[in-house]
Amino acid sequence: MTILLSTLNARYSHASLGLRYLQANMGDLREATQLHEFVIGAKTTDIVEKLLAHKAGTGTTIVGFGVYIWNIEETTKVVAMLKRVAPDMVIVLGGPEVSYESAEQQIVQLADYLVTGWGDVTLPQLCRQILNGPKPLMKVHVGVQPPMADIVLPYGLYSDHDIAHRTLYVEASRGCPFKCEFCLSALDKTAWPFALDSFLAEMESLYARGARLFKFVDRTFNLNVKTSLKILQFFLDKLAANPDDPVFAHFELVPDHLPDALKESIAQFPPGALQFEIGIQSFNPEVQALVSRKQNNEKAAENIRWLIQQSQAHLHVDLIAGLPGEDVASFARGFDRLVALQPHEIQFGILKRLRGTPIIRHTEPYGLIFDPHPPYTILATSLIDFPTMQRLQRFSRYWDLVANSGRFAHTLPILLGDTPFASFMAFSDWLYGKTDATHRIALDRLAGLVGQWLHLQGMAENAVNAVLSTDYAGKPAKQADMPQLMAKPDAAAAPKRQARHLVHT
């Protein structure tokens, strides 16, 4: 018998934490279980050929796929081809994209079994039934959530190659107590922590093996401040013991919860050691209430300001355009407010309809129209029509190229002026008119176009050349010294705080 656990990662540098959890918890089947990770964009025939190379000779082969919003279409092709060339292989699906609204999905119809939700206990039980009988009669198996202490931690399954070349995803807790309706974590009842001593022992082992980049996927890292302080102290101790061997940690922060004790700890980190992802999403209180998001905007802004001015942490702050009840003017005010706080990066996201999220209840009242194909991007609302939403999409892409790239650190403030959203939207409209493209714009061409725009706005040519030369001659100012942990699966694939949903959850 052979059990293959597979997924198509967004990038090679992403190592699947979900698959490793599943393998770690296979119990007596663990030795028969293998991981096979691929990358979106790979040829379907190549993936199928590699999986078939590990097919059991005369016994049963089970292939489990982790299915996500960014890989659903390509995984469907892989499953369809596998069922054509090796119909005896048993296909089991899991992951957020197939855990909800599954009956209508082609990939589910093609597969033999589906595990929805948590897979740590349910997948090995299902595999035992498939292998030893009696064969399960039901296709869909609802994942059983075990006590956190019963879950075997997977970090020993990161290979030395993973540690040397890939982002290591870790989690001190699962779930989220908040109910933001655009996020799959809205379905959680609370946050469930792992035993802290056991978790830190695993981090110690990873560190001893050479791990230096740790990306926490916890939704609410700073919810329990005592736990947060202990985890931060773990990294401070490493930095103190080996100042010439830097370690880097990435966390998601609740924006309006930053007590003094946490500030004191954060302030001790040197540059290039700490990165925070902070979800603002909207500064409009009415929109926040509409999507069940509780947030003290004044406190959140105050905390971002403190982090910028009093710490060395790198800040990546998220906004979502297209939320129900928010028009362009409201979003623009929030964008300008966030720009004024000067975070290092602003992730301008466009709303996605993740399967299972409560956001769907606003479809009729607020005229929400989503693309029927992954990643289910909002196309229009009652307050933002389709052409305007397309303009916002282009704004988002150009913002990544110009602002978040760090290539135009000195030019950007001039480009934005006193009205950041309006100024960049005008530039975005002009840039699209000149290029008819949002991708594959070479850096030298982009720099020339930025210069043309500034000159059209009345800036003297010598001044334009001077500021662009300052930026263009150097490396990216904002990201130069930061490990590249923020690479997105696809600009549209996994909106921050919308789609962090592992195979096991």
353, pLDDT greater than 60: yes
**Phi/psi zone of residue 168: left (φ > 0), alpha (ψ -120 to 50 degrees), beta?**
beta
DSSP label at residue 9: E
| CATH architecture under which domain 2-148 falls | 3-Layer(aba) Sandwich (3.40)
Closest-CA residue to 326 (of 261, 370, 281, 271): 281
Question: 358 and 292 in contact (C-beta within 8 Å)?
Answer: yes
Omega cis (within 30) before 476: no
505, pLDDT greater than 90: no
As a whole-number percent, the residues of the chain with pLDDT over 90 amount to: 89
Q: Which amino acid is at 225?
A: V
500, pLDDT greater than 80: no
As a whole-number percent, the residues of the chain with pLDDT over 70 amount to: 93
Q: What is the mean pLDDT of residues 184-205?
A: 94
pLDDT in tens, 104-136: 999 999 999 999 999 999 999 999 999 999 999
Q: Are strands 140-142 and 168-170 parallel, antiparallel or unpaired?
A: unpaired
411, pLDDT greater than 50: yes
pLDDT in tens, 284-310: 999 999 999 999 999 999 999 999 999
**Binning pLDDT at 50, 70 and 90, where does residue 502 land?**
very low
How much is the pLDDT for 474?
53
Question: What are the DSSP calls for 376-404, one per residue?
Answer: -BEEE-SSS-HHHHHHHHHHHHHHIIIII
Q: CA-to-CA distance for 505 and 192, rounded, in angstroms? A: 12
Q: What is the mean pLDDT of residues 417-429?
A: 98
Torsional sign, CA 155, 158, 164, 167: negative
SS3 of 359-378: HHHHCCCCCCEECCCCCCEE
479, pLDDT greater than 60: no
Do domains 2-148 and 154-368 share one topology? The answer is no
Q: CA-to-CA distance for 436 and 109, rounded, in angstroms? A: 39
**Binning pLDDT at 50, 70 and 90, where does residue 232 land?**
very high
How much is the pLDDT for 498?
43
376, pLDDT greater than 90: yes
pLDDT in tens, 29-45: 999 999 999 999 999 99
Q: What is the mean pLDDT of residues 267-281?
A: 96
Average pLDDT, the chain: 92
Q: Which CATH class is domain 154-368?
A: alpha beta
- Residue 379 has phi, psi (to 5 degrees) of -105, -30
Sequence ranges of the domains in the chain: 2-148, 154-368
pLDDT in tens, 59-84: 899 999 999 999 999 999 999 999 99
Q: What is the mean pLDDT of residues 161-165?
A: 95
492, pLDDT greater than 70: no
Question: 235 and 265 in contact (C-beta within 8 Å)?
Answer: no
pLDDT in tens, 317-329: 999 999 999 999 9
Q: H or E segment at 249?
A: strand 248-253
